[in-house]
Amino acid sequence: MAEIAKTEFEEWQHHFITKAYYSAVLERIEELKEVLAASAGVDAAQDNLVRGMIRAFREVVQFSVDQEEET
């Protein structure tokens, strides 16, 4: 697996395309929360699917690169 430096990842996060992508992901989270609020309890399997999607999208926007200090 290719490695990426923490600074490279941070630069990528600040790129306008990445910001647009993150914005779209955050919109999807809000849409899914609305779906869940409107239909929770009707179909447990569907509720679980939507909750899983929300969690996955949140992991995308919360991902970070932790790099150990080189000595």
69 pLDDT band (50/70/90 cuts)?
A: very low
Q: Is residue 5 part of a domain?
A: no
Give residue 46's domain range: 13-62
Predicted TM-score (pTM) of this structure: 0.81
Distance CA 53, CA 34 (A): 13
| pLDDT top residue among 1 and 64 | 64
Q: Is position 27 within any domain?
A: yes
pLDDT tens digits for range 6-42: 999 999 999 999 999 999 999 999 999 999 999 999 9
Residue 34 lies in a domain: yes
In a domain, 71, yes or no: no
How many degrees, rounded to 5, is the angle at CA 61 between CA 37 and CA 47? 25
Total domain count for the chain? 1
What is the pLDDT at residue 1? 65
Res 67 pLDDT > 80: no
Is residue 30 situated within a structural domain? yes
In a domain, residue 4? The reply is no
